[in-house]
Structure 1
Amino acid sequence: MSPSVVDPVTALVDAVRTRTTTGAAPELVALHEVLDQHFSRVFAQLERVAVPGSPHALLLRWRGSGGAGGEAAPLVLLAHQDVVPAGAGAAWTHPPFAGVLAPSAEGEAVWGRGTLDDKGPLVVVLAAVEALLAEGFVPARDVWLSFGSDEETGGASSAAAVEVLRERGVRPWVVLDEGGAVAAGALPGLRAPLAVVGVTEKGSTVLRLVARGRGGHASTPARGGPVARLARAVVALERAERRAALGPVTLPAATRELLRRVLPGPLGALAGRFPSAAGRLLVLAGPESAAMVRTTLALTAMRGSEAVNAVPDEAWVGVNARIMTGDSVDAVVQRLRRAVAGCGVDVEVLERGGASPTSPFDDEAFALLERCTAQVFPDAVSTPYVTMAATDSRSWTVLAERVHRFSPLRMSRAQRAGIHGVDEHVAVADLLDGVRWTTALLRGLP
C-alpha cells in the first residue's frame, strides 16, 4: 500500500472527530463526507445499494471476477459507524472526540472513541479496498461492504441490509465482522497473543428487576419499600452468581479447540477429555476467561425516585444476560426468578436474544483467515472462540453458514478495557497491519 493512495491514520483521526453517537444523523452525514474524501475510489467505483428504512447505512458492492464458474458466493465485510457515548471525557488522557495522535504504551496511536469499536476496523477495510482499486485489482468473487449505523442500539440497519441481499438471492460465502482481535494477555500465563476468531457469539437478553409500592413522602417511610426490596434482590442475584447457580459451566466446541491449540501437549488433550474441570479453571482465572464458559449477568441501569425526599412507587435495575452457546433464554429467566424469589420483585424480559449458531472452523474459509494471520501476525496463535459481545453479525446467520468475527488489530488487555470505557486507542503500526491483513484476505479469495 502506497501512502500516496490512502492514509488510514488521517482518515481515522477525521472519522473519530465525527461524534456518531446514538441518533446523531447530522454526524453520520458528516462521517460519510469524511469517508468519501479519504476513500474516493471506493465511493466512485463501487455500486452503492440503498438500505430501505436506514438512510445512513452504507451498503456497497465490489464486483468480482466470479470465480471459475462465474457464480462464486461473495465475501461480506461488516463494520459499524456509530459509537457509544464517552461521558464528560474528564477521565480521558485525550478528549474522546478530538482524534488525537499521541504516544501510548503500544507506540504512536490514534486516541478516541471508536478507534477500536468500530471506526478503526471500518477504516482498515476501506483503506485496503481503496489501495487495491488504485492497482486495478479485481477480487475473485464479489465483495460486499456493509456498514451499519446503529449497532450500539440494536443493529436494525444491518438487519435491513440482510434483507436487501436476501431479496437479491445473495448467499454469502463468508461474513466477517468485529468481535475477535489479536489479543495479548488473553489467558493467564500465555505469552503468545491469541488471534481469536469468533465462530459464534453469546446472545444478549435484557431484563429488569422491578419493585413496586405506594411511594410517598420521605418523612414517613414504611419498611420494605421498593428500593429496599430491590436491594435485597440485587444481593440475592450477586450471591447466586458467585455460587454459579445462574448457569452451568460449559465448554463449547470453539473453546475446547482454543484450549487444544494453546495448551502444551497433554494439557490440551486433557481439557478436551475433562471439559467441566477445564471450564471451572477458566472461571477461577478471571472475568474475561470466565465469560468464555458460562452465561453471565450484568447489573446495569437503575432508576428509583426522581427526588431525594420522595419514596418511589417503582424502582428497577436493568440486567443484561449474555447467553452462552448451549444455554437458552427461557432457562436463564427461570434461574434468575428462582434467585430473587421472595424478594418482592418482578422479573420482566425486555429483549430476548439467544446465542448464534456456530460456524465451521475446519474448512477452507477458516484456513484462509489463518493464513492471513500467519502472514501479518506470525507470533500469534490463531484459534476459534466464542465472542462475548453482541455484534451486527448475529443478523447475518440467517443468510450465511460461515459468519466469523475478527478485527485484525493487536489489542492489549488495557486497550480491550478501553472499548466502551476510557482511553480507547489504536496504535498506528497496528492499524497499518490491519490494512495489510485485509489486503491479504482480499487477494487470497479463492
Structure 2
Amino acid sequence: MTDRVVSALQALVRIPTVSHRDPARVDTAAFDRLLDELAAQFPLLHERLELTRVGSHGLLFRWPGASDLRPVVLMAHLDVVPIDPEAPWVHDPFGAEVHDSDEGPAVWGRGTLDDKNCVAAICDAVETLLEAGHVPTQDVWLSFGCDEEVSGTSALAAVDVLRERGVTPWLVLDEGGAIADGAFPGVKAPLGVVGVTEKGTTSIELVAEGRGGHASTPARNGPTARLARAILAVEKAPFPASAPAPTLEMMRRLAPHVPLALRPVLGPLLGRADRLAPVVTRALVAAGPEAAATTRTTVATTTLRGSPAINAIASTARAGLNVRVMVGDTVAGVVEHLRRAIDDDSIRIDVVEAGEPSPVSPMDEPFELVEACIGEVFPDAVATPYVMMAATDSRHFTAISEHVYRFAPFRMSKAQRQAIHSYDEHIAIADLVDGARWYALLIERLPA
C-alpha cells in the first residue's frame, strides 16, 4: 500500500489539472492524461467497477456490494486551483517531489492536500481490498468531480445519475475536516473534525456609478469614495454571532481536553455549552477570526475595480464580496443586512452567485461509523462535528441523502492547512498511508 499510494499521488500531482471558470482556458488534454494515469495506477478498480462518465471528465464508479440497501458514496475531486507564479514555492508545485518537512518525508505540490490525496487514498484502498477479494457489504460509489474548484456541474451530474437509478446514499463522505493539529487554543490533542454542514458560499458585488471624467477636476462623492464608505460600513457591521448546535457539541467534546490549569474554569463552561450558548459564543468571538467565523456569517471584500486609467475618474466602481452564509441565515437575509449597513441607495447590491448553507446532517449511525474509524486509526484525536467554512461538491448530495459528512482522513498541521490554495502544499508520506488505511477500514466496517 505504501509505495503504490505515494507513487499514484505523485503521478496525479504532476498532471496540472487546473480548473477555470472560463471553459476555454481549461487544458482538457491534462484531464485526459489524468484519467489515463488513474487507470494505469489502479487497474483492478477500473476493470471490476462499473464506470459512468459525468460532465466533461468527472467519474462515477459503482462497486457492487452484497446489498444495495444502504449505499455509500466516497467523494473527491480531480481539479486544482491555479498556481500564483509569484508565490515562493520551495519545490516545484507540479513536481511532486519527496522532501523532508516538519511532518516527516513528504510529497510536495499542488493538490497534495486539496484534493488529489483523497483521490489516491480512496483508489488505493479500493485496489487493496479488491486484491484481497473483499466484497463490500453495501454498494460503494466513488464520485470524482472535475470542476469543484470553480463550483462546476460535474457533481450535480453525478447526483442526477444516482437519482435516476434510485440511489439514496446511507452515507456520503467528501473532503473537508481533517486530523487537525493546533485547531483549538490550549487543546494539545489533534481534532478529528467532521463537517456535518457547510456554510453557503455567495458572491456579491457592490456597484457605485457616476459621470466619471478627468482626474484633474475631481468632484466630491464620486463612485470610488461612495464605494469605499460602503466597504467600511460593511466591515463595521458584522453579522450577529450565535454558535450553532454542531459548534456547541464540539465545545462539549473538548471540555475534557483543555489544559489542567484552565480546566476548573473552562471545563464546566465547555461541558455545558448547550446550556451556556451565549457565553460560549462570546468566548469564540473573542478567540480570534478563525474561532469567530464558526459563529456567524462572514463577509470578505476580495476584489476591487475602478477606472481603467490612473488619470481618469471611474464612472463605475465595483467591490466583490465573498460571503459565507451561516447555518440559520439566508442569502436574502444577507442582502438585507448589507442594505441596512451601507444605508446608501446609490450603492447597488448585485447577487452574482447565491449559495445557501447546507442542512445539518444527524450524528447517528453513519456519523458514528466515521467516528469509530477515526478512533481506531487516530487514537490520539478527539472526533467532533463542526461547521465547515468552505464549500465542497458534497453540498449537492444533500438533495439525495440526509447523511453527508466532510472529512479527509489525514493529519494536517496548522502550517499545512494554511498552504491549501496557497504555496508549499505538502503531505507527509506516513499520513498519506494512514489515510488510505482509514478508507479501507471504513469500507470493511460498513454494516450489513
Query: Normalised by the size of structure 2, how large is the TM-score?
Result: 0.93
8 A Cα contact 2:87 2:423, kept in partner: no
Select the residue among 242, 245, 264 that pairs with 1:250.
242
Q: Which amino acid aligns with 2:420?
A: I
Deviation of 1:24 after TM superposition, in Å, equals: 2.8
Q: Are 2:253 and 1:261 aligned?
A: yes
Q: Distance in 1 between matches of 2:379 and 2:269?
A: 23
Structure 2 CA distance, aligned partners of 1:93 and 1:229?
42
Aligned counterpart, 2:312: 310
1:392 Cα deviation (Å)?
0.4
SS of residue in 2 equivalent to 1:178: strand
Gapped regions of structure 1 (runs ≥ 5): 242-246
**Aligned-partner SS, 2:272:** helix
Q: Is the 8 A contact 1:229 1:343 kept in 2?
A: no
Q: Spell out the pairing of 1:98-247 with structure 2 (5 A cutoff).
A: 98-241=95-238, 247=239
What's the CA shift string for 1:219-264, capped at 9, x where partnerless?
33322222222111112222223xxxxx221121111111111113
Residue 288 of structure 1 is matched in structure 2 by 290
Alignment of 1:36-115 (within 5 A): 36-51=39-54, 54-66=55-67, 71-115=68-112
| Structure 1 residues 258-287: Cα deviation after superposition (integer angstroms, max 9, x where no partner) | 111111352333322111110111111122
In the other structure, the counterpart of 2:27 is 24
CA distance in 1, matches of 2:33, 2:303: 31
Alignment of 1:405 with 2:406, yes or no, is yes
The share of aligned pairs that are identical, in percent, is 54
Where 1:208 maps in the other structure, the secondary structure is: strand
Q: Deviations over 1:316-344 (max 9, x none)?
A: 11111111111111111111111111384
Cα 1:320/1:276, change in 2 over 3 Å? same
Determine if the alignment matches structure 1 residue 10 to structure 2 residue 7. Answer: yes
Query: Aligned ranges for residues 325-336 of structure 1 at < 5 Å?
Result: 325-336=327-338
Post-superposition shift, 1:190?
Answer: 0.6
Q: For residue 431 of structure 1, what is the aligned residue in structure 2?
A: 432
Q: Which moved more, 1:337-346 or 1:297-306?
A: 337-346
Count of residue correspondences:
431
Task: Report the Cα distance in structure 1 between the residues aligned to 2:427 and 2:126, rounded to whole angstroms.
Answer: 20
Q: Contact 1:89–1:95 at 8 Å: present in 2 too?
A: no
Report the more deviating stretch, 217-226 or 137-146: 217-226
Runs of 4+ in structure 1 deviating by more than 4 angstroms, as ranges, are: none
> RMSD of the TM alignment (CA)?
1.4
Aligned-pair CA distance for 1:306: 2.0
For 1:289-368, list aligned pairs within 5 A: 289-342=291-344, 344-361=346-363, 363-368=364-369
Q: Deviations over 1:86-125 (max 9, x none)?
A: 2105411112222121111111111111111111111111
Rounded to whole Å, the distance in 1 between the matches of 2:254 and 2:283 is 15
Answer whether contact 1:77 1:146 (CA < 8 A) is retained: yes
In 1, are the aligned partners of 2:270 and 2:280 still within 8 Å (CA)?
A: no
Q: Is the Cα contact below 8 Å between 1:89 and 1:96 reproduced in 2? A: no
Shift in Å, 1:28? 1.0
The amino acid that maps onto 2:329 is: D
* Structure 1 residues 273 and 127, CA gap change in structure 2 (3 angstroms): same
Give the TM-score normalised by the residue count of structure 1.
Answer: 0.94
- Mapped partners of 1:304, 1:97: distance in 2: 35
- Contact preservation (8 Å) 2:77, 2:144: yes
Task: Work out whether 1:442 is the aligned partner of 2:439.
Answer: no
Partner SS, residue 75 of structure 1: strand
Deviation at 1:55, TM superposition (A): 2.5
> 1:228 & 1:89 partners in 2: Cα distance?
31
Q: Give 1:370's aligned residue.
A: 371
> Residue deviations 1:47-70, cap 9 Å, x none?
10132xx1200111111111xxxx
Cα distance in structure 2, aligned partners of 1:428 and 1:72: 36
